[in-house]
């Protein structure tokens, strides 16, 4: 399989963690999001993912999947061991809710495109953009802090989709110096996941395209 990725992309980071947890081998092709005006906007990559975003996963038969959560669902369905969702429907919905807070409510507001729009089109300075970034992470983390039940992972003794989405978001929060002292449960889950090889290998600095 080929993962079209960018080392700092938290959506790609989610898929890297899932691939590693499943023990699946893949080759990384780095798609730089700022060089040459953003290589994800070039014709070559557009032919791979018409949405011009990373990640995209090319399967061995040539099919290309896009959208991190859709890719992770596919991996979980086709390679169910270890499962990333609990069997119980209520537990499953709770795990998905935390994943969705990150993937649907925090990440889209802090993504490259809205940040660039704030900077260039609306003319906001770095301090305002940082405040915007921190605001949406903090709001989302306030909810997640009360929803998770560390044990040591977000929902007990098994890693789930919630951890797969949460750890890249914590990474981004630290990168942008968002204070995390009000979120001890989230930090405890992060510390537990950082002990797992699948999470360590997925970190941005451990990617072949890292700078
Ligand atoms: N919802 C998508 C988000 C993908 C996404 O927005 N990726 C970012 C990097 S984290 C990207 O490619 N941004 C390029 C751009 O917005 O132009 C997913 O989960 O895969």
Query: What pLDDT was estimated at residue 195?
Result: 98
The residue whose two tokens read 């981004």 is 172
Q: What sign for the dihedral angle of Cα 178, 55, 78, 101?
A: positive
Query: What pLDDT was estimated at residue 30?
Result: 98
Query: What pLDDT was estimated at residue 73?
Result: 98
pLDDT, averaged in runs of 10, over the chain (211 residues): 98 98 98 93 96 97 98 98 97 98 97 93 96 97 96 98 98 96 98 98 98 95
Strands 56-58, 64-66: pairing kind: antiparallel
Query: What pLDDT was estimated at residue 25?
Result: 97
Query: What pLDDT was estimated at residue 66?
Result: 98
**What's the rounded Cα separation, in Å, for the pair 98 and 91?**
11
The CB of 8 under 6 Å from ligand 1? The reply is no
Strand positions, DSSP E, the chain: 2-5, 27-30, 56-58, 64-66, 149-150, 155-156
Pocket test for ligand 1, best of 39, 45, 109, 111 (most atoms within 8 A of CB): 111
The CB of 11 under 6 Å from ligand 1? The reply is yes
Ligand 1 closest atom vs CA 66: 20
**What's the rounded Cα separation, in Å, for the pair 27 and 18?**
14
CA 30 – ligand 1 centroid, Å = 14
């Amino acid at each position: 399989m080929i993962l079209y990725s960018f080392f700092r992309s938290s959506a790609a980071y989610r898929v890297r963690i899932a691939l590693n947890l499943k023990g699946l081998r893949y080759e990384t092709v780095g798609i730089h999001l700022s060089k040459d005006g953003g290589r994800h906007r070039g014709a070559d990559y557009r032919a791979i993912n018409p949405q011009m975003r990373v990640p995209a996963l090319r399967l061995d038969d040539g099919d290309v999947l896009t959208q991190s959560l859709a890719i992770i669902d596919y991996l979980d369905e086709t390679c169910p061991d270890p499962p990333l969702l609990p069997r119980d429907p209520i537990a499953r919905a709770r795990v998905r809710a935390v994943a969705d807070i990150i993937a649907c409510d925090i990440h889209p507001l802090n993504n490259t495109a809205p940040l660039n729009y704030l900077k260039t089109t609306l003319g906001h300075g770095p301090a305002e953009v940082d405040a915007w970034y921190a605001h949406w992470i903090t709001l989302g983390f306030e909810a997640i802090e009360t929803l998770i039940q560390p044990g040591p992972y977000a929902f007990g003794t098994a890693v789930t989709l919630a951890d797969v989405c949460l750890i890249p978001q914590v990474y981004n929060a630290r990168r942008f110096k968002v204070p995390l002292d009000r979120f001890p449960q989230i930090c405890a889950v992060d510390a537990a996941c950082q002990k797992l090889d699948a999470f360590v290998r997925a970190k941005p600095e451990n990617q072949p395209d890292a700078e």
